[in-house]
Structure 1
Amino acid sequence: MVKLVYLLLITLILSTSALAQNSRLLVSDESTTTDHTTVIKGKKVRYSATVGTQPVWDDEGNTTASLFYTYYQRTDIKNNANRPLLISFNGGPGSASVWMHVAYTGPKVLNVDSEGYPLQPYGVKTNPHSVLDVADIVFVNPVNTGFSRVLADKNGKMPSKDTQKKAFFGVNADVKYLAEWISTFVSRNDRWRSPKYLIGESYGTTRVSGLALELQNRQWMYLNGVILVSPTDIGIERNGPVKAANRLPYFAATAWYHKALSDTLQAKDLYSLLDEVEAFTINQYLPAIAKGGFISAAEKQAIAKQVAQYSGLSVEEILGANLTVDTSYFWKALLRDREQTVGRLDSRYLGIDKQNIGARPDYYAELTSWLHSFTPAINHYLRDELGYKTDVKYNMFGPVRPWDRSNNKTGENLRQAMAQNPYLNVMIQAGYYDGATNYFDAKYTMWQLDPSGKMSSRLSFKGYESGHMMYLRAPDLDAANQDIREFIKASLPGEGQAAKY
């Protein structure tokens, strides 16, 4: 009898241990739904929030990964045939969907101050500007971000790193499996008739640009709009003199913000100053850089003087860099006399370094500030408010590298998708103080997206007085969401309006 009790006890301990161990594994296909009410633009909105996982399958139908998502659907609207669906991705690559989820378009936003700096207690609050009033939203976490994970095969063996890279971790692999996943999600949730929009931030703009054509040509799913937030180059070349020259308007905006310009330039409003700097950049600065070592001494001196005036740096620094100043140097040098550095993704943020000398900051002040707020907020919100219980770690940034960036034709793919689909419109959003994906690069990308100019009426640009995540600043949270709201409404065809040229 004692022996039997002992064996039962051992079995219980082992099974409990196994359960505890398995709680660290992702369940590949599950969801939970909760009901909520909020107020957006002064009006009550009822909605459901579904958090869960949906598998990724290979060509043989084997489950290879599972993606974690959060799906917000308005419940006080019965017919979703005309109800837009906004599919949201962040970037990295390797970044979770957390950023736009709990700081931009979703029904909740971070508990931060009006400029985006962290406040305690950490958490979320109601977002009165969310676009949930005009569109349902699904926030998708690609493989190894958020709670999404690669899964073991049917024999319990994890695929090799090379196999994972080919399946998930590259420009084109990423687009291919995500298009399949979206098609499944749309089918499961009965959204085939709904107008559909993609929104991507940073590398997410590469992702959604590629998805526009992949969905169209491989899944036969046509979109009404693509929104590019703080876009990358999306495969459109802007190297050499173009890359160097395009930084200057961003330099000028940042220097103006920190009052590092002359009294005459500081007296201008930001938009008048940027119009002036953009004209100089295109008409004088870019051609001067293109001349390289064969520019005349007189022209080089004159250009250096003007660049110094607009950037807040000295003529000696500009000449010492042969007219082209690296962004890392700018972040370190602009406020060197004040013993402060400026942020990379949002240059309104200030940092302090161990030494004032050097050519780059010790750290990026904006990113440490953001991780302060986002990490505890998303973990609390998903687990405690939306009821998703798991011991799996939420990856703010997941292991996805090395990332295969070869054969990046996503910008051309977006152009082709627009050409084939007269309904498809594109809006770009960018912050003037973003030094990672600067706003003038974003404008340049828009100009080059369709060199023919035949679709220029379907391309638009919106700028904001903040950085990479412009929505962290309270006035821009309102303005940027309103721009999305108006973009969605404007890109919905009128009754009887056919998709034709």
Structure 2
Amino acid sequence: MKPFWTKPRSSPPILPLAFAILLVGGAALAKAPEQKYEPLPAPSVTEQSIEIGGRKLGFKATASAVPVKDARSGEVLAEIATLAFTVEPPKAEAGGGGGAACRPIVFAVNGGPGAGSAWLNLGAIGPWRLPFAGAVPSTPPRLVDNQESWLDFADLVFLDPPGTGYSRLPTNEAARKRFLSVDGDIDMLAVVIRRWTVREHRQACPKYLLGESYGGFRAPKIVRVLQEKENIGMDGLILLSPVLDFSWIHGRNNPLLDASRLPSLVASHTGAKDRAALAEAEAYAQGDYLADLLRGPRDKAALERIVSRLSAMTGLAPEKLRRLGGRVSAEDWTRDSDPSGRTVASFYDGATRGLSPDPRRPPSEWADPVLDALRAPLAEAMEQVVTGRLKWPVGDSKYEILNDKVSESWDWGHGRLGQESLSDLHRVMALDPRIRVLVALGLNDLVTPYFGTCLLLAQSADIGSPERIDLLALAGGHMFYAEDGSRAAFRDAARKMIEGK
């Protein structure tokens, strides 16, 4: 999500940290008696119902927290807020464990870093949905029963890492630095999943992990930690607009990135709704376009071939394309795809436009007409759900929908461009031949272009059956589930995987 486009501040080396729920033993953390951690409320359990396809679906909603403690002192460093929606299966399906023990579970985490789980919850798979189409900050947060909710075939558990949702950041400085890092975040979320599973006696359930955006980067790494350290196996991974390799979406001098972005620019210009309509753009991107880009802009004949073809495919002016050397970045598209300069396109959906605040300023200084327009209504709707429908008394706490401080403080280790999780995906698939993977992408997404992910996955050797990875490219942007048809297609693909059909 938006934090991909911010430059994180540098931070000192991560201090050693031991969690009681992560490691046995370890040095105790330094105390900060002047700062006392404020605990989240006790769990709230309510009975709820929605209508899906004209029939009533009853379910239990549980708002609770999973504590993370210091290994030596037992001090609570942070609590991870979770929202769980569970359905009691018919007794004939309950099996020896009884109750909901045999129903599949989908654990869901968003990205950022710094994004709360409301995006997946109220946008895509939860029991209630906030319509995203056309939303602006003043849009009333009116919820509807989600006809595409995955609750129809799986229980849902939404996780909010520290600093997102209602999960508070640690007051202990060493713990804060550890949580706001690539590896510390992964270890913590893996343990929270294990703790929730054990607490609810759901070890026998089929388990799936859904990650969106940076959450899609997290997911393979979390599953690897669950397999190798936490003694928990997962049945499947569902990656929504994922970042599998940061070097494939960031960089200025690699023509391959421009080629992988081109089909999304064409989709944004033409309104293409499926990959078949983009077959020509994909073929050109990995063929003649890439070949001419490699020749460089000093090859005038190659540049003119690019300019002519791209102008026809994207609608961009030939003089602009010539000046860019035939390489169109996401920033170029958001600023220049409207020749009048009166509107700007979204990074998150290149076909969606908003009014231009100041054509003289760089796009990075604008509020995004998709992502930022949704912040207020989505956060307000989430507050209504948690405090109103679920009756969890969080007081005056604000729901952190996109915490910029988290993203700015994130420790990327040896650098963001060196981070990737494709090798983790390969490792978890090799260790467990039963794991299946669903990768879902939006055609208009300029943050994690769909064709780049397709090309990246194409470089992977088959690990077991080649059908283990299902790739789905859908109409819409980074949050393609804003489109009714795409949301339904995503649900159907997930249901097929989870039910094994």
Measured against the shorter chain, the TM-score band is 0.7 to 0.9
Structure 2 match to 1:265: none
* Structure 2 CA distance for aligned equivalents of residues 29 and 383 of structure 1: 11
1:54-133 mapped onto 2 (5 Å cutoff): 54-60=66-72, 61-78=74-91, 79=94, 80-111=100-131, 120-133=139-152
For 2:465 and 2:410, the matched residues in 1 are separated by 32
In the alignment, which of 401, 405, 429 is matched to residue 396 of structure 1? 401
Do 1:236 and 1:445's aligned partners in 2 also have CA atoms closer than 8 Å?
Answer: no
Residues 309 and 359 (structure 1 numbering): CA distance in 2 closer, same or farther, change over 3 Å? farther
Residue 169 (structure 2) pairs with residue 150 (structure 1):
yes
- Contact kept? 1:304, 1:318, Cα under 8 Å: yes
Would the alpha carbon gap of residues 414 and 57 (structure 1) be closer, same or farther in structure 2, given more than 3 Å must change? Answer: farther
Matched, 1:27 2:70: no
With over 3 angstroms needed to count, the CA separation of the structure-2 counterparts of 1:124 and 1:419, relative to structure 1, is: same
SS in 1 for 2:78: strand
**What secondary structure is seen at the aligned counterpart in 2 of 1:445?**
helix
The normalised TM-score by structure 1 is: 0.83
Selected match of 1:405 from 400, 403, 412 = 412
Partner of 1:9: none
Q: Is the 8 A contact 2:430 2:463 kept in 1?
A: no
What is the aligned counterpart of 1:486 among 486, 496, 500?
A: 496
The equivalent position to 1:304 in structure 2, one of 285, 302, 307, is: 307
Distance between the aligned counterparts of 2:235 and 2:216, measured in 1? 16
What SS does the corresponding residue of 1:434 show, helix, strand or coil? Answer: coil
Structural mapping, 1:46-445, within 5 Å: 46-60=58-72, 61-78=74-91, 79=94, 80-111=100-131, 120-151=139-170, 158-160=171-173, 163-165=175-177, 167-234=178-245, 237=248, 239=251, 240-257=254-271, 271-292=275-296, 296-337=299-340, 339-356=342-359, 360=363, 362-390=366-394, 391-398=396-403, 399-400=405-406, 401-406=408-413, 408-445=419-456
Residue 467 (1) aligns with residue 481 (2): no
Deviation digits for residues 225-282 of structure 1 (CA, Å, limit 9, x no counterpart): 111111113456565122121111011011113xxxxxxxxxx875444111001001
| RMSD across aligned positions (CA) | 2.4
Is the contact made by 1:428 and 1:442 (CA closer than 8 Å) also made in structure 2? no
Q: 1:55, CA displacement in angstroms? A: 0.2
1:246 aligned counterpart, secondary structure? helix
TM-score, normalization by structure 2 = 0.83
CA drift at 1:343: 1.3
Native 8 Å contact 1:25 1:392 kept in 2: no
Q: Tell me if the contact between 1:46 and 1:76 (Cα under 8 Å) persists in the aligned partners.
A: no
CA contact (8 A) 2:77 2:175 kept: no
Rounded Cα–Cα distance in structure 2 between residues aligned with 1:247 and 1:223:
32
| CA displacement at 1:146 relative to structure 2 | 0.8
Summarize deviations over 1:141-172 as a string: whole Å, max 9, x none. Answer: 00111110134xxxxxx322x5421x201111
Cα distance, 1:183 vs structure 2? 0.7
**C-alpha distance in structure 2 between counterparts of 1:476 and 1:447, whole Å:** 23
Query: In structure 1, how many angstroms separate the alpha carbons of the residues matched to 2:379 and 2:260?
Result: 33
Report Cα offsets for 1:433-483 as digits up to 9, x if no partner: 1111121122123223x2356553111111221111111222222222222
Q: Residues 254, 46 of structure 1: CA spacing in aligned structure 2 closer, same or farther, 3 A cutoff?
A: same
| Whole-angstrom distance in 2 between the partners of 1:472 and 1:26 | 36
1:35, 1:452 → 2: CA distance?
A: 45
1:85 aligned partner, one-letter code: I
1:155-208 deviation per Cα after TM superposition (whole angstroms, max 9, x unaligned):
xxx322x5421x201111111111111111100001101010000111111111
Contact persistence 1:29–1:55 (CA under 8 A): no
**Alignment-derived partner of residue 11 in structure 1:** none
Count of residue pairs brought into register by the alignment:
447
Structure 1 residue 42, shift from structure 2 partner: 4.0
Report the CA distance between 1:25 and its aligned residue: 6.6
Percent identity between the aligned chains?
26
Q: Which moved more, 1:352-361 or 1:392-401?
A: 352-361
Tell me, what secondary structure is at the counterpart of 1:275? helix
Are the counterparts in 2 of residues 179 and 211 from structure 1 also a CA contact under 8 Å?
A: yes
Q: Which runs of 5+ in 1 are unaligned?
A: 1-23, 152-157, 258-267, 492-501
Kept in 1, the 8 Å contact 2:101–2:201? The answer is no
Q: Is the 8 Å Cα contact of residues 87 and 137 (structure 1) preserved in structure 2? A: yes
Output the CA distance in 2 between the equivalents of 1:478 and 1:217: 34
Shift in Å, 1:488? 1.3
Give the secondary structure class of the aligned counterpart of 2:220.
helix
Matched-pair contact (CA < 8 Å) for 1:333–1:359? no
Whole-angstrom distance in 2 between the partners of 1:302 and 1:434: 26
Q: Which runs of 5+ in 2 are unaligned?
A: 1-35, 95-99
> Aligned with 2:124: secondary structure?
coil
Task: State how far apart, in whole Å, the 2-side matches of 1:348 and 1:26 are.
Answer: 44
Shift of the 289–474 alpha-carbon distance from structure 1 to 2, 3 Å rule, reads same
Displacement, 1:98?
0.8
Structure 1 pair 236–416 and aligned structure 2 pair: CA distance change class (3 A)? farther
Conserved in 2, the CA contact under 8 Å of 1:210 and 1:411?
A: no
Q: Distance in 2 between matches of 1:237 and 1:355?
A: 30
Q: Distance in 2 between the 1:482 and 1:116 partners?
A: 25
Partner secondary structure for residue 370 of structure 2: helix
Shift of 1:397: 2.0
8 A contact 1:117–1:369 mirrored in 2: yes
How far residue 355 of structure 1 moved from its aligned partner, in angstroms, is 4.5
Contact 1:250/1:435 (8 A) holds in 2: yes
**Partners of 2:210 and 2:402 in 1: CA distance:** 19
Instruction: Report the residue type matching 2:326 in the other structure.
Output: L
Amino acid of the residue matched to residue 274 of structure 1? L
Judged with a 3 Å threshold, the aligned counterparts in structure 2 of structure 1 residues 381 and 416 are, in CA distance, closer, same or farther, namely: same
Q: Is 1:36 aligned to 2:48, yes or no?
A: yes
Q: Which structure would you say has the larger Rg?
A: 1
